[in-house]
Amino acid sequence: MRLTIIGCGSVAGVHAGRLRSAGLQIAAVCDSTVKKAESFASAHGAERATPDVLSALDGADAVIVASPSALHYEHALCALERGLHVLVELPPCASVEQSEHLEQVAVQSNVVLQCAHTSRYLEPYRRAGDWIRETQLGEIRQVQYFRCVLPARRSWIDDALLHHAAHPLDLFLHWFGSLQPVGCAAFPPAAPHRDVSLLARLPNGAPAGIAISYSAKSAYSRLSVIGDEHTIMTDGFSFIDSGDSVMTWHGDAVASYEQAVTKQDLAFLGCCETGDGGIPWIETTRMMRQMGAFQGLR
């Protein structure tokens, strides 16, 4: 399978590095800056580098879209219209309408369309999800997610609500099935938002909160899941702590992230070849629909 990667940032580098380690050849890489694309291609053994998206898609079977967030929809649509399988990074698009349109084009083109729901593959969150579903924590009384992100210096501006809030939102939907949005506070009031807090109710009525900040001067990440029998806390990458030694885990944060990306990418490529594997797009549309409900509460 010939793979093209659109975007040459740090996330694209993880995709390329891990896939190359798995024995997959990168056919082409694309970035608007020629020197950046050429440097990326040289570092990851890609066959060619180009600043032109259409040229990068020539001869490809599948595409990973890891370009700036605001271009994800455009680049994913371009690849789908050319009959290519697509894995697109979060945020996959800007609205549920765009999500549904991407799915429609994927169906018409008879290709696989998936989103990088990477958090589901991170070991701490995978374990937490298993314990929640198996009711090992007891009845869930509260879930809180707080993350301070230090965005890399770049020419484009990210949106805390549409991007980093989507990761825990997806986890909560995956773990609990549904959420009832209660409130959304975002600053500045108009997008792109740098700070955002979401409040929701779980199906049992318990509170769930998500807070993302791009304004903090130091990085921080913590998820707390409080049950009436056990409480767990994790940074999502390197540890799980609890009062029960059975519900603890420690690992390397970088390795945990890179392994999650590998599992995600290989699941996507497996689905391209066999029709089975990865996370179906219906899950992505559900997440975008929920995101739209919170956006309406700003």
Q: How is the chain classified by DSSP, letter by letter? A: --EEEE--SHHHHHHHHHHHHTTPPEEEEE-SSHHHHHHHHHHHT-SEEES-HHHHHTT-SEEEE-S-GGGHHHHHHHHHHTT-EEEEPSS--SSHHHHHHHHHHHHHHT--EEE--GGGGSHHHHHHHHHHHTTTT-SEEEEEEEEE--PPP-SS---TTTTTTHHHHHHHHHHHS--EEEEEEEESSSSSPSEEEEEEE-TTS-EEEEEEESS-SS-EEEEEEEESS-EEEE-SSSEEEESSGGG-EE--HHHHHHHHHHHHHHHHHHHHHHS--S--HHHHHHHHHHHHHHHTT-
Determine the pLDDT at residue 24.
86
Q: Which single residue is written with the structure tokens 């609990």?
A: 176
Q: Is the peptide bond before 91 cis (omega within 30 degrees of 0)?
A: yes
> Which distant-in-sequence residues (6+ apart) come within 8 Å of 237 by Cβ?
122, 124, 221, 251, 253, 256, 257
Give the chain's residues under pLDDT 70: 152-155
Segments making up each domain of the chain, as ranges: 3-116, 119-262+285-295
Q: Can you tell me which residue has the tokens 């484009």?
A: 156
How high is the pLDDT of residue 155?
A: 65
Asked whether 2 and 60 are in contact (CB, 8 A), the reply is yes
> Is the torsion defined by CA of 56, 57, 61, 62 positive or negative?
positive
Tokens 């001869």 — which residue?
Answer: 59
Residue 157's pLDDT is 83
CATH match for 119-262+285-295 among 3.40.50.1970, 3.90.950.20, 3.30.360.10, 3.30.70.980 = 3.30.360.10
Are 3-116 and 119-262+285-295 the same fold in CATH?
Answer: no
Structure tokens, 153: 């210096």
Q: Token match 């599948």: residue?
A: 62
Compute the distance between CA of residue 117 and CA of residue 25 in angstroms, rounded to an integer. 23
Going by CATH, does the domain composed of 3-116 fall within 3.40.50.720? yes
By C-alpha distance, which of 129, 198, 106, 128 is closest to 160? 198
